Chains A and B, each alone.
Chain A
Amino acid sequence: MATPQAQFIPWLESRLPFCAAWRTHVSEYQTARDQPYLATLPSLILGTLIFLALSGAVLSLFYVAAEGAAFHSIQFIIRSVNFGWLLQSFHTTGTTMLFAAVYLLLFRAILGSSYKGQGDLVWFLELKLFILLLLTGYLGYVLADGATSYWSLHNAALAGARLNSFPGAIADWIFGGPAGPGTLARMVVFHVVLALLLFTVIGALIIAKRAVAVPVTRKPVALHPYYTGQYFAAFVVFALIFAILVFFAPHLGENHLNLAAASPLVVPAVLTPPWYLLPIDAISGILPGTLGGIIAVIAGLAVLYALPWLDRSKPGVSTGLLYKFLVFILALDVIALALAAAAPPSIITGILIKLFIAWYFLHFLVLTPLTSATEAK
């Protein structure tokens, strides 16, 4: 007679086919050899999201979502909660790592033209991930309730209140009016809801990426243990960078004015967001008015969405050297844009910001179609 354990496994397997799923998706899943380490980015993003969700859950136990009180509750977390300083740093630095990974993911996709052909949906999901992350990151930045966070939220709520008709209604639903009670409490809810949405998007992204992977014909290898080892190595390096930032640069890319408590009577001299929001923040400022800002942001993201059509090369054809060179220039352009936006406002930085934004749109709307069409021949 079989032991209870021997009976339990088939009983469970017939109801919850975990072993079969493990075989199909992991231990017998056929993959190509010699994939680059950066192909592990979606998994690293998922891991970072889980980490952020855990640290955010613990932080939310002590966070007080009310203007003024929020800043002090974070101070309480840092000073009084056991390991609160570490968890707070985990959450902010985790955001930095997450954005770095997503920016790198987008850069690789543009560089390799992986949005062509069947990769289009993957590209759209990556953009969706990016946009949701920008929103979630902005909300998290606002929750810090420091001097710049406070004024950023204040200005956004005021600008929203000035909008009319449908955009105004949306702004009211989000902020609860210019002087609505509990605006920060709303921001907490949106922050959490969008973060949960991020999980579904990254899940869909990983599944979609697998579905369109090129079938392996020559000497395939199983995902486990061949690539789990690689994932592990990539994870260790990622965690090492993360740990260095947590312990030696916990405020990397933050506006240091945000470390001071907000005062309703003092506007900070430089009202810049954290580094990961700088490019989109600069783009939002080039057109006048609130609607202008919204239109500029939509345009900046729309050119990314339009990339599969702007790129005139055939699917499957590797991208040309000039195109690759231009993508590197684009990356430098975005970094330079962020640096210019972080600098104290002056005439020169104002001109530089306009130049860098002009190059950004020039790259997508003119240079990409031109080079891809000429190099495809």
Chain B
Amino acid sequence: MTDLKLYQVGTFAAGNRLVDLELRSVQAHADRANSITSGHRACQGCGEALGARYVLDAAMRAAGGDVVVANATGCLEVFSTPYPESSWQVAWLHSLFGNAPAVAAGMAAGLRALGRETRVVGQGGDGGTVDIGFGCLSGMFERNDDVLYVCYDNQGYMNTGVQRSGATPPAARTANTAPLGPEPGNAFGQGKSAPLIAMAHEIPYVATATVADLRDLERKVEKAMSIRGARYLHVLVPCPLGWAAASSDTIRLARLATESGIFPVFEAEYGEVTAATPIRRPVPVDEYLRLQGRFAHLFGKHARPDLVARIQAAADRNIVRFGLVEAEPRTGS
């Protein structure tokens, strides 16, 4: 029989009963590490809880279970570790809101001094990474410390009541960017792209990913774990609470964010973009925005098509900049 592709659900679903076990995702295995287990207090449909399990389970498999994790304060910490309970089934260390990259760097240095092969992962939300911990993160990059740092980006300070962060998108409603005035919601032209800044440090590996593309995410974690030095992974994790979206739409939103071009999924090595995930089913940004209450003021009675057009223009720019349609679209296999 010739090389026969497995079309039914191809490579897009977590598993496929027709393919060998090792070709299925880490998440398809009943014996996955379950790095963050049941009983955590994350909201229904939490993208961050999901993203953290995806990333750490893949890292655990890549490192044969020999992993330690430093966690910045934020949702991820608060919902997982109310004293004396813990959801973590990995060696896990609490740190402050702003110093997780530094703590992780210290752990890596300490382990090296002890002659241990244990791998170090630092992780936090976008607030702890893009804003508050940014100095520590930049230092970790600049020293090329042997840490994989993962930012779970839900585009705001969700734990403290949905305030704006440096990763909040333009026009989004948050507790402190009210949908009022001529430019309702978060201002255009502010905020920052942590992956591009990480690239500017010319570290060995930078990648973006989302909870909508599990296979891509796992591949990137595995690749990152095969590299030594500072690595940065930026994972989009929709937040049903902060985005005012249905809990069942978490993965759909992440998918629409990539398919609209709003969130480019790419990889870079030593400051150069090496690969981008092409858009498979292009959609206008409308489809992404309309599912979220934080953008509700752009539609309806006092619709702001002009602002939607500006968001679309940003997405179009990403498509050109990262070559999101030029590459051959994925057909799966």
A binds B: no
